[in-house]
Amino acid sequence: MTSGLERARAEYLAHLAVERGVSDHTLAAYTRDLERYCEFLFARGRASLDEVREGDVVAYLEAIRTGDDGGSVLAPSSAARAVTAVRGWHRFAHAEGTTAQDPSAAVRPPSSSRRLPKAIPVDRVEALLEAASLGEGPVPLRDRALLEVLYGTGARISEAVGLAVDDLDLDGDVAAVRLFGKGRRERVVPVGSYAVEALEAYLVRGRPELAKAGRGNAGVFLNTRGNPLSRQSAWAVLQTAAGRAGLTEHISPHTLRHSFATHLLSGGADVRVVQELLGHASVTTTQIYTQVTAQTMREVYAAAHPRALG
């Protein structure tokens, strides 16, 4: 993390503790919120607060609502607190003359209303997967296998990076992976041939090389030190692949999960089957994806039918 962001954060936290006299509980919460915000800004290439723009703040609020940055999804009350922490920091920096503007001034806490998930077309998913495997050595093999698993199973990012080798069954009549969702709820999800091929290539030619640097870790996806890949690192893998593929829309692990569900329903899959594949406790949660496909259908109709528009 950059020293500029760290220094500015330390100054604000000191201001809260000494001049504002906030409680230890509030200070600890703000410390966590702003540490995550700094990591998010650093991942977006921001080296100082003066480089932050309103779009960065908005993107961060989306990240804490969805977990797109690899962190946990915050409840509305916690998200509102995080917004307060971020806005307070920017307001303080602007008042102190550290920054020329306050990029958070117009930003409000994220709404608790449910938004339609965003999916990307199949051809863009394919471009993303191809971009992940560019290069030589074990890392491109790992990155391709990781993204194939995310899109091929609809796994959450935490479920994918938490996979152990024993959770893979690639030799049976129907290849499958065992995923552990929220509350350690277990489900077995089939894996398509493309994901199987990518996993086998990685397990044979990539993972053994990465494992040499570690101490016999059982995780499927390893970093260059032989340790399990973190959610943040997996998020960075996706961002790198999206950049290489020239994708301009916002791409996150949730994007692949949303695309998995939307493409299945568009292809005629039953909503309750998709519910089981996603690990949703209630079919009501899954039904939001049917709104996506219905919306797409209306858009296609409006654009293609000669008498759709007056």
Contact between residue 157 and residue 187 where contact means Cβ atoms under 8 Å apart: no
Query: Angle CA(282)–CA(219)–CA(200) in degrees, nearest 5?
Result: 90
Indicate if 60 belongs to the active site.
no
Indicate if 194 belongs to the active site.
no
Q: Which residue's entry shows tokens 């220094």?
A: 7
SS3 assignment for the chain: CCHHHHHHHHHHHHHHHHHHCCCHHHHHHHHHHHHHHHHHHHHCCCCCHHHCCHHHHHHHHHHHHHCCCCCCCCCHHHHHHHHHHHHHHHHHHHHCCCCCCCCCCCCCCCCCCCCCCCCCCHHHHHHHHHHHCCCCCHHHHHHHHHHHHHHHHCCCHHHHHCCEHHHEECCCCCCEEEEECHHHCEEEEECCHHHHHHHHHHHHHHHHHHHCCCCCCCECCECCCCCECCHHHHHHHHHHHHHHCCCCCCCCHHHHHHHHHHHHHHCCCCHHHHHHHHCCCCHHHHCHHHHHHHHHHHHHHHHHCCCCCC
Separation CA 237–CA 145 (nearest Å): 11
Q: Which of 7, 182, 205, 212 is catalytic?
A: 182
Indicate if 90 belongs to the active site.
no
Number of residues written out for the chain: 310
Q: Which of 46, 65, 231, 254 is catalytic?
A: 254
Indicate if 263 belongs to the active site.
no
Q: Which of 9, 46, 81, 156 is catalytic?
A: 156
Indicate if 156 belongs to the active site.
yes
Q: Which of 231, 257, 258, 263 is catalytic?
A: 257
Strand-pair partners of 164: 219
- Kindly list the catalytic residues: 156, 182, 254, 257, 280, 289
